[in-house]
Amino acid sequence: MNGTGMTSLESIVPSEPQLSLRDGVATITFNRPVHRNRLEDADLRALLRHFERVDTDASIRVVKLTANTQGQPRPVFCAGYHIGGFDSEAGLDASIPFERVADALAALRPVTVCALNGSVYGGATDLVLACDLCVGLSGIEFRMPATALGLHYYPSGLQRYVARMGISGAKRAFLTARPFTAEMLLRMGCLEEVAEVQAFDGAVARLVDEISNLAPLALQSTKRSLDEIAIGRMDVEAIRQREALTAGSLDFAEGRAAFQEKRKPRFTGS
């Protein structure tokens, strides 16, 4: 389902993000299409629970983040944090849980794939950037309106923007509040692919399948090393230890054997 169906919005009951598990893939789906999939405090708490569950389940190799956009005139992946939350007694502190969610997503053990099947705004743009890879639907837009609302963004989000989009892209996002098209994000390296509606699900499925078939121990340890390098926290000794761990693993032995025997490897993550 590509989320572009014409189901009536009135017939959809909004709920917290949904988690489904199948064949080593955890799919987390934003599920407030009638509200453009905005994120409320209950959604942030649900996301943290889902992240904890998949992170501790060694059988999960890929996490896919997507949205229910059924019935929307134009698909919106997520409209960001519900702005009404800033009027609560917590005031600006209401943004702290959102930072925790983005940081927790970025730190997940499995590889994360964002199936960006609609436009994305505000804090939700940081959730997209917190994913390792992303496939975008053609025709969407990506916009960070923080300064247009009078808000300075949180530190880890700014760091992620610079790491993923470069300083020029981050400045354009925050200092102009202008939207990015999917094609612009593709040129910047923020998207793996841009697909039309009819090809979107297939493009996501192919990417998830390719990742799922890689050696999980090497995949997950390499992801961690790359993330540390990206934020300027490279620990050469830790990287050497991960290198040695994979070099002595059963997966590496299986990978070599499969290459020699011209067959598909059967990795176990050990």
What does the pLDDT look like over 137-174, one tens digit per residue? Answer: 999 999 999 999 999 999 999 999 999 999 999 999 99
Query: Can you count the helices (H) and strands (E) in the chain?
Result: 10, 10
Please tell me whether residues 110 and 234 are part of one structural domain: no
How confident is the model over 41-53, as a mean pLDDT? Answer: 95
Q: What pLDDT is recorded for position 7?
A: 52
Residue 60 has pLDDT above 90, yes or no: yes
Q: What pLDDT is recorded for position 12?
A: 64
Q: What pLDDT is recorded for position 94?
A: 47
Cβ-contact 182, 138 below 8 angstroms? yes
When mean pLDDT is compared across 7-11, 75-79, 214-218, 247-251, the lowest value belongs to 7-11
Cβ-contact 4, 42 below 8 angstroms? no
The residue out of 196, 212, 228 marking a domain boundary is 212
Domain contains 3: no
How confident is the model over 189-212, as a mean pLDDT? Answer: 97
Residue 242 has pLDDT above 90, yes or no: yes
Q: What does pTM read for this prediction?
A: 0.90
Q: What pLDDT is recorded for position 82?
A: 77
Q: What pLDDT is recorded for position 1?
A: 47
Mean pLDDT of the chain, nearest integer = 91
Domain contains 100: yes
Number of domains in the chain: 2
Residue type, 43: D
Domain contains 222: yes
Please tell me whether residues 133 and 225 are part of one structural domain: no
Please tell me whether residues 110 and 166 are part of one structural domain: yes
Domain span including residue 113: 9-212
DSSP character at residue 12: P
End-to-end CA distance of the chain: 34
Domain contains 4: no
Model confidence band, residue 13 (pLDDT cutoffs 50, 70, 90): confident
Please tell me whether residues 117 and 194 are part of one structural domain: yes
CATH of the domain at 57: 3.90.226.10
Domain contains 270: no
Q: How far apart are CA 118 and CA 3, in angstroms?
A: 9
Q: How many CB atoms lie within 10 A of CB 74?
A: 12
Residue 254 has pLDDT above 80, yes or no: yes
Domain contains 242: yes
Please tell me whether residues 43 and 162 are part of one structural domain: yes
**DSSP class per residue in 34-45:** GGTT-B-HHHHH
Please tell me whether residues 223 and 255 are part of one structural domain: yes
Better-predicted residue by pLDDT, 84 or 17: 17
